[in-house]
Structure 1
């Protein structure tokens, strides 16, 4: 099993630009209001400098200057308030788009991809990572927009006010740039490692919870505890790595804030003594630089959080890096004949599990596929069901590649029934998936013996089903889909004997007059089939009727005699 891909920085950047472009009017309004607020905020330090000059005898109306300071403060507050209100609404809409895109991509993933990746990886991306990105968009991006605009205007103002003092003050900020560059070079990889560790931990917890009965039955408690401890240890290690980076970054940045003000006071004092600048100009320059602390501090804190959320965004956007499925076939199958020709398949490149399989399945026949565990039976069944496509060769129905059929058409052709049946936390009607009149839905349920299912509005989240009932719902879906071919893969393996007998009666009703491909783990199934395909090491080594294969005294005969205890 391999984790889902992670988007690179270029993909993340393009995705962020698409989100901004989707709501460009709001973005423009936010920037405009923040610019006006920043301009209003520039007035107060300059006016305070003029007040100081007035007090020291250089003239001016102090009362009017004080009122102007108040007006600037009020204007800045109101403009910032409106900008933030619009920004937060923008953030909520953008967070909604991110969630919708992720859900759409997750639902569009090929079934084979979903089955190969750890369940915890997809779950962590859809919960922890999505929440981190949504919170960043909602809270941090608006605030960063405000801070960035303020910094640009404040730096411009101090340079215009007194170029020498302004340039010295800006030069004093260079230490922050070097420290931030050091941090950014290390932070993304550290946060990606932390996210991957969280996925492993989530997957480990999911596997342990789902397999609780197996763990108890086989006394695997200590082994699972050891695996959980290892996952927690790795999560803790990666978390401490990111904390260590922050413990260096923030103290150095905090220290750097004082440097510009100290340099301007020293140089400004010399220039004032020399008579080249007024005291008010020096004070205004220092106040401007002190104004930088607020937005700078906020942005640098947010940069740290952005490293975490950008790593989460890279994991969320990683779903876009999965190759899209080829376009659906435009032609319908000409008949119900299934052909497997020269099929090879590999879960990992270079390690084939199927080797040149050829098989023709005639409409209406019952074919059993048998072999030892690991022979490739279930893999072949998934390819015939269109869950995945072969690495080489073709699997077709009526001359059309099965994996290329649109979902609705595929469901009418071939359906795979396994031992795992998902029941959604929805009503019974919604769980049947197919939109049809109630009498049709009830008829399908009665066909599979689900006489308990009178209330189609029953909430299966509030009233969960047992194993046999869940399988009856799954089989009712098959009846409603009405495929011509049904593939059975251990369909009753997890049920107790009583439930298994009930399920087998339901299966008999479902399979009537259909092509049946049974991946047989009990050879009695093969005994009743029209033909038996014997697999070994990813190849079909025998094919024929049960009696003929037993008479041939080959591998199938050995399996049959072994199953009957050597008789």
Structure 2
């Protein structure tokens, strides 16, 4: 079964799961795989002709036969070489095509699984781990599938045929050659026992380094403002040191393994020559057979060298595939168990909820709240009061440390991602403009939407920005520039298209100027009519328009009621309202 690499990181697949994934990739393209094997086998057979024919030439010359016989055998050697080259070229061509298709499937499955991950899983692991799996690890797997697989298949077949040819020439010489290869077997076993764990550790260290670097880059302004440069440099140096340590470990394994194998290549050739000389002196074997056997074993160096080189690559790519396939366990776990139960209704209930970030003190203290279907609830309070944390619990992005947060009596955080996104959508100040057209950005939320639906969604959020090519305008990096307000309107239009029952707006219009924000909120109010809307905002006009207002202070829900009731009550909300009207 899949196991976690380290605390906070995504799991990795077991060797059995990795083998199952490889078999699945082969099964999807088994015809091409069979063709690659067949062509490689024919190429390996053609390669056997040269040494055997050379042995025949030695015997012909020793017997004193004419030049014509030698010429015919030499032409046959040339013919075998040409056939081998042509077959090998075609095999490599088909092998590369097979590898590219398999690599594409690996990438597609990774994207599907990454998109299906629960939000809390991604945030707990950090962006660095997922990024490293989607880039470095996928690239390593693609290289192995595209380049290593054809080369290894060819090398394995060549080894089998060459050893079979030696045994066919002389069983005694074949036994000597096989005994001489024992050193390769022993050194390979030593290497393989240590390599997988070493490469998994290297991958985990690479993910940790990527996480530190991405966090530092994303928070560069905060680091500079708070004078945290030394602390971030120290964290980076620690991550670099761990990455260096794991890489030196894998380098040590290679530096021991490769020299041992290089020496082991020569041993079977020497063994066959010594044994062949003794047997030839006794008349037990011909001189041509000894020459052919020695040449066959000498030819073993090339395929064995290929196997040794790619054995190291397979350990690295195998560890990478284990990390890529590890996402399958996470997404499978998210879709099973209690989460399979459908919510009875759209009623959201929070009971005695407590929450703390990363082992710190509680930031929510026993919150109780019921949100009725179709209600508009405003959550207000001073900065740091727990508003955003509560909204994350309501959206299933986090799980309470104690207590429950349910929708239709089912824990929100246990809902499968697909079901959760149909039920609840959380819109925050953070937004993302994807590389592509405006149409592509909007259809992420509704793949089947037509242009009229897209235009209506943009109109619903108050979009009045002229696009040079309409919905076909390229946006994102290098495309038509959108400012923060326009990017947020684009994100809100996606919410309109997603059509969830419950929408949680966590300062969703904070990047808009007050006039645009007010217009957008009114447009959204019309679009979201009949839905449950939970709005977290500092602008209290949102609370004024809500059915009820929940006031958070110090991680506690201190007031709950309609706007006019709370104003008349003279409590914390009344003070906030008076201050806001200043």
Range of TM-score over shorter length: 0.7 to 0.9
| TM superposition score normalised by structure 1 | 0.86
1:85 aligned to 86, 93, 96, which one? 93
1:137 Cα deviation after fit: 0.8
Candidates 8, 11, 36, aligned match of 2:42: 36
TM-score by length of 2: 0.84
Distance 1:312 1:414 in 2: 34
Pairing 1:276–2:287 present? no
Are 1:20 and 2:26 an aligned pair? yes
Residue 322 of structure 1 corresponds to which residue in structure 2?
Answer: 330
User: Where does the alignment leave 5 or more consecutive residues of structure 2 unmatched?
Assistant: 1-6
The 5 A counterparts of 1:2-17 are 2-17=8-23
Match of 1:458 in 2: 473
The match for 2:242 among 230, 234, 239 is: 234
For residue 359 of structure 1, report the CA deviation from its aligned partner: 2.8
Contact kept? 2:40, 2:154, Cα under 8 Å:
yes
**CA 1:111/1:46 → structure 2, altered by over 3 Å: closer, same or farther?**
same
Decide which moves more: 384-393 or 274-283. 384-393
Deviation string, structure 1 residues 437-476 (Cα, Å, up to 9, x no partner) = 5455444434433322453332222123222222222223
Corresponding residue number in structure 1 for 2:406 = 395
Report if the CA contact (8 A) 2:393-2:405 is conserved. Answer: no
Query: Paired residue for 1:429?
Result: 439
Deviates more, 1:365-374 or 1:544-553: 544-553
Alignment of 1:263-302 (within 5 A): 263-302=271-310
Is 2:511 aligned against 1:502?
A: no
Q: CA-to-partner distance for each residue in 1:257-307, whole Å, 9 max, x for gaps?
A: 111111111121122222222221211111111011110011111101111
Q: 2:378, 2:537 within 8 Å by CA — same for their partners in 1?
A: yes
Kept after mapping to 1: 8 A contact 2:550/2:559: yes
CA contact (8 A) 1:468 1:503 kept: no
Asked whether the equivalents of residues 91 and 139 of structure 1 are also in contact (C-alpha less than 8 Å), the reply is yes
Q: Does the 8 Å CA contact 1:448/1:472 hold for their aligned counterparts?
A: yes
Residue 340 of structure 1 contacts residue 396 of structure 1 at CA under 8 Å; is this kept in 2? no
Q: Is contact 2:179–2:268 with CA below 8 Å preserved after alignment?
A: yes
Aligned with 1:53 (options 59, 67, 70): 59
Partner residue of 1:417 out of 404, 424, 427: 427
Q: Is the 8 A contact 1:106 1:319 kept in 2?
A: yes
Determine if contact 2:540/2:577 at 8 Å carries over to the other structure: no
The answer to whether residue 534 in structure 2 is matched with residue 517 in structure 1 is yes
Question: Residues 469-503 of structure 1: CA distance to partner in whole angstroms, max 9, x if unpaired?
Answer: 2222222333444555432223355x4xx735533
SS of alignment partner, residue 487 of structure 1? strand
Whether the 8 Å CA contact 2:46–2:84 is kept in 1: the answer is: yes
**How far, CA to CA, are the matches of 2:405 and 2:543 in structure 1?**
25
Name the CA distance, whole Å, in 2 between partners of 1:276 and 1:409.
Answer: 77
Task: Give 1:390 deviation, angstroms.
Answer: 7.1
Mark the CA change 1:429 to 1:27 in structure 2 (over 3 Å): closer, same or farther: closer
8 Å CA contact 2:559, 2:573 repeated in 1? no
Post-superposition Cα deviations, 1:515-536, rounded to whole Å, max 9, x if no partner, equal 4323356788667755444568
Q: How many angstroms apart in 1 are the aligned matches of 2:271 and 2:533?
A: 85
- Is the 8 Å Cα contact of residues 350 and 367 (structure 2) preserved in structure 1? yes
Does the 8 A contact of 1:472 with 1:503 survive in 2?
no
Whether the aligned pair in 1 keeps the contact of 2:566 and 2:573 (CA below 8 Å) is no
* Number of residue equivalences: 559
The 3 A distance-change label for structure 1 pair 195 and 402 is closer
Cα deviation for residue 551 of structure 1 reads 8.8
Query: Residues 479 and 561 from structure 1, CA distance in 2 versus in 1: closer, same or farther, beyond 3 angstroms?
Result: closer
Name which of 499, 502, 506 aligns with 1:489. Answer: 506
Range with greater deviation from structure 2 (530-539 or 78-87):
530-539
- Structure 2 counterparts to residues 74-473 of structure 1, below 5 A: 74-324=82-332, 325-326=334-335, 337-340=347-350, 358-369=368-379, 377-387=387-397, 393=404, 395-396=406-407, 414-433=424-443, 434=446, 436=449, 438=451, 440-454=453-467, 455-461=470-476, 462-473=479-490
Unpaired segments ≥5 residues, structure 1: none
Report the equivalent of 1:62: 70
Deviation at 1:332, TM superposition (A): 9.0
> SS at the partner of 1:359?
strand
SS in structure 2 at match of 1:322: helix
Q: Report Cα offsets for 1:418-445 as digits up to 9, x if no partner.
A: 1111111222233233454545544443
3-state secondary structure, aligned to 1:420: coil
Secondary structure of residue in 1 paired with 2:472: coil
SS in structure 1 at match of 2:434: coil
Q: CA distance change for structure 1 residues 428 and 411 in 2, over 3 Å: closer, same or farther?
A: same
CA distance in 1, matches of 2:440, 2:63: 83
Q: CA deviation at 1:203?
A: 1.9
Q: Is residue 568–residue 574 contact of structure 2 (8 Å, CA) maintained in 1?
A: no
Aligned-pair Cα RMSD in Å = 3.7
